Amino acid sequence: MRADGVKRAGVLLALAATLGGCAAQRQVLLGRPSAPPLAVDPPAPPGVPPAMAWLYGSGEAAALSEQAYNGMVRYVREVLTAARDRRGRLPSQRAAGTLPRWPASVVLAPGATAASAETVPCGTLPPAVVLDMDETAVLNLGYEYDDAQTARGFDQQRWERWEKAGATRVTAVPGAVAAFHALRAMGVTMVINTNRSIGNAEATAQALASAGLGAFRHGETLFLKGDADGKSGKDGRRAAIAARYCVVALAGDQLGDFADLFNPPGPAPAVGRRMLTAVAPIEARWGNGWFVLPNPVYGTGLGSSWDETFPADKRWKDVP
């Protein structure tokens, strides 16, 4: 094309753009709808946060969860078998109004310390397993998806909305459904002890059922934040549950799911909490009545400082 032709074409294009803009402005002034803008694909979200990718997407996390639940089922079966051998009677056989007398439960007694770790007696109470809910029995995939997309940080009101609306957006932790079935078949009652809100009890029970974990009733097999003593710490609820059942196993993803002594009033140094887990009476309970599920996404296990994480005498720097 000749140069004067190119110049003339450029002028015409510019004029058309100007007239188009004027026409759009007239449409707005006259109250007429303008043509919708062309659809633009939203920007691609960033990669899944590593901790979420590991917990919710990896085979390694699934295997660890299966391992914890397999260990729990095996441990509880051994406890029940020992009771049967001592008394010649299974927990579900309650003829003549008699029940096996169990050893002490795995719930620490009021006033127990890590150095003593006494547990409450069971007598002839029926056996139960007590579990935390979130990231122990169910994975909150819907909430964590929203969290990963927005990176807004934790907000209690948003979590309340999730509790009310997210019942069908959870899935069972790997291994949980099979374990719940196996333990119930042994005559064990499954009890959930969670810090979800009392006001959302029905929605919480629906979420557990949606995940395939069965039916739960508030105040009987479902205990929520504020039940028993009005506190967020779980010792009061554990004591209330232990008054009804012989708790033969506990499961959770945070140390507070086992005893409040791990979370004293005020922030506890990470190194102190880590040392508590290795005190002899406590150390012996991991895998023997107390079962921990992995959770690198949130909770009391996160936030250790450089000094707490990497002792000074174990540091190394590469010098080429």
pLDDT digits (tens, 9 = 90+) for 186-197: 999 999 999 999
Phi then psi for 189, rounded to 5 degrees? Answer: -85, 130
pLDDT computed for residue 166 by the predictor: 97
Tens digits of pLDDT across the chain (320 residues):
444 443 444 433 343 444 344 444 434 334 444 555 555 555 656 799 999 999 999 999 999 999 999 999 999 999 999 887 776 555 555 444 455 566 679 999 999 998 889 999 998 999 999 999 999 999 999 999 999 998 788 899 999 999 999 999 999 999 999 999 999 999 999 999 999 999 999 999 999 999 999 999 999 999 999 999 999 999 999 999 999 999 999 999 999 999 999 988 766 778 888 999 999 999 999 999 999 999 999 999 998 999 999 999 999 999 99
287 within some domain? yes
Provide CB contacts within 8 A for 265, sequence distance 6+: none
What confidence tens digit (pLDDT) does each residue in 130-156 have? Answer: 999 999 999 999 999 999 998 788 899
For residue 195, the enclosing domain spans 50-297
Q: How many domains does the chain have?
A: 1
Rounded to whole angstroms, the maximal C-alpha distance in the chain is 110
Residue labelled with tokens 């633009």: 40
Residue 274 lies in a domain: yes
Axis crossing angle, helix 59-87 with helix 176-185, rounded to the nearest 10? 10
Please report whether residue 9 resides in a domain. Answer: no
Q: Taking the complete model, does pTM exceed 0.75, yes or no?
A: yes
Q: Which of 129, 255, 258, 107 is nearest to 192 (CA)?
A: 129
DSSP, residue by residue, 184-200: HHTTPEEEEEEEEEGGG
User: Does the residue 233 lie in any domain?
Assistant: yes
Residue 7 lies in a domain: no
DSSP secondary structure letters along 137-184: TEE-HHHHHHHHHH-----HHHHHHHHHH-TTS-EEPTTHHHHHHHHH
Q: Is residue 136 part of a domain?
A: yes
In whole angstroms, what separates CA 115 from the centre of its chain? 28
* pLDDT value of position 151: 77
Q: Is residue 30 part of a domain?
A: no
- The sign of the CA dihedral 137, 142, 143, 147 is positive
Q: In the chain, how many H helices and how many E strands?
A: 11, 7
Looking at residue 19, what is its pLDDT? Answer: 39
Question: Please, which residues bridge with residue 134 across strands?
Answer: 138
The verdict on residue 145 lying in a domain is yes
Q: What is the CATH number of the domain that holds 141?
A: 3.40.50.1000
